[in-house]
Amino acid sequence: MAKIVSSTELQKRTRDIIDQARTQDVTIVVETYGKPMVVILPYAEYQAYLAFKQRRQAARDERFAQVRRLAEQNAAANGLTDAEAAALIEETSL
């Protein structure tokens, strides 16, 4: 569970709050006027997030490549022009 601190509290206790995130494996949400603005999290958690984001992007890229290949195969089988096939591919990419 995340700990919530105000931006004013962060200004006053920066070192302590960073140490909490680092040593206690706590995610800290910094709010300004009750609105979440930023998150302070342990570096290992940040690295895990980046790895997840990279895997998700790679999977997305592969799905789009597969859709493009299928669209090209379909276009070839149905006698579409290259321009029509490209338009279908573009439409599926949006």
Question: And the tokens for 13?
Answer: 């206790």
pLDDT at 1: 77
pTM: 0.62
Distances (CA, A) of 70 to 73, 79, 86, 87: 5, 14, 12, 14
Domain boundaries, the chain: 3-41, 44-93
pLDDT higher than 90, residue 18: yes
- What value does the mean pLDDT of the chain take? 88
Q: How does pLDDT run across 72-86, given as a tens digit for each residue?
A: 777 677 777 778 777
Give the pLDDT confidence score for residue 94 in this predicted structure: 61
More confident residue, 65 or 72: 65
Contact in structure between 10 and 4 (CB atoms under 8 Å): no
Q: What are phi and psi of 37, to 5 degrees?
A: -115, -45
